[in-house]
């Protein structure tokens, strides 16, 4: 009996690894589709679309989180719609950097984001990480960041570059936590919900890098 149990452990571990790899593949595939939708949104955004994009993105984030029993197709459709309207939301910023600094800075920020996300994913998969603890620290940092950003709008005690560096730190923690959660099996979440977290992490890291790189080019 003991021999059978010992022999069964590698099969169990191999099965768990296959499930995790399959989940990661689905998450990355869905996330990639979201980025394509965002690029389409940026390219087709009307001049008045930023405010509409903000409202649509917030509404769809809550809809995806609440629709846990929705079909995978419906969840994917909402995610792609979110990605498209995110393009509307960030289009004015993208177009401003293209006009003032040049399109290369957008490409460099996007490439750096992709490489950084890959590196953070490797960290999460190579090391044993308590994703709940890291996520807790990241969410606390995000709350402080939001409050500091609001306060800085009135008292101007934080430069845009400082805010961008803090954003990178916070979303680095959240990205590691999100990848570690996928490695642990996703905590019962569907691939679309997990893809949403990775997508939002990436967008915030991209915008922070764009601010830092674009600011240096202007200087």
Q: What is the pLDDT along the chain (219 residues), one digit of tens a residue?
A: 343 444 444 444 444 565 677 888 999 999 999 999 999 999 999 999 999 999 999 999 988 888 766 678 888 999 999 999 999 999 999 999 999 989 999 999 999 999 999 999 999 888 889 999 999 999 999 999 999 989 988 888 888 899 999 999 999 999 999 999 999 888 888 899 999 999 999 999 999 999 999 876 555
Distances (CA, A) of 108 to 84, 104, 125, 209, 214: 21, 6, 26, 9, 10
Distances (CA, A) of 10 to 7, 184, 195: 6, 17, 29
Q: How far apart, in whole angstroms, are the C-alpha atoms of residue 52 and residue 48?
A: 8
Q: How many domains does the chain have?
A: 1
| Model confidence, pTM | 0.88
Residue 101, SS3? coil
Supply the pLDDT for residue 200: 96
Supply the pLDDT for residue 190: 87
Task: Please give the mean pLDDT across all residues of the chain.
Answer: 87
**Owning domain of residue 166:** 2-218
The strand ranges marked E within 36-188 are: none
Supply the pLDDT for residue 17: 60
Structure-token pair, residue 62: 């809550």
């Amino acid at each position: 009996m003991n021999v059978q149990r010992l022999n069964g452990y590698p099969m169990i571990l191999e099965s768990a690894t296959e499930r995790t790899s399959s989940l990661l593949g689905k998450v990355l595939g869905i996330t990639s589709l979201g980025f394509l939708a965002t690029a389409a949104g940026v390219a087709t955004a009307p001049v008045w679309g930023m405010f509409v994009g903000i409202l649509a993105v917030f509404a769809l984030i809550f809809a995806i989180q609440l629709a846990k029993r929705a079909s995978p197709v419906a969840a994917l459709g909402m995610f792609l719609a979110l990605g498209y309207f995110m393009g509307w939301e960030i289009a004015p910023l993208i177009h401003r950097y293209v006009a003032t600094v040049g399109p290369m800075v957008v490409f460099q920020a996007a490439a750096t984001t992709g490489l950084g996300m890959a590196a953070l994913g490797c960290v999460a998969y190579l090391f044993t990480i308590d994703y709940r603890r890291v996520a807790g620290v990241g969410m606390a940092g995000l709350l402080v960041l939001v409050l500091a950003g609001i306060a800085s709008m009135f008292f101007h005690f934080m430069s845009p570059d400082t805010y961008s560096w803090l954003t990178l730190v916070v979303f680095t923690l959240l990205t590691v936590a999100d990848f570690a959660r996928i490695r642990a099996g996703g905590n019962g979440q569907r691939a679309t919900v997990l893809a949403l977290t990775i997508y939002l992490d990436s967008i915030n890291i991209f915008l922070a890098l764009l601010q830092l790189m674009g600011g240096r080019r202007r200087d």
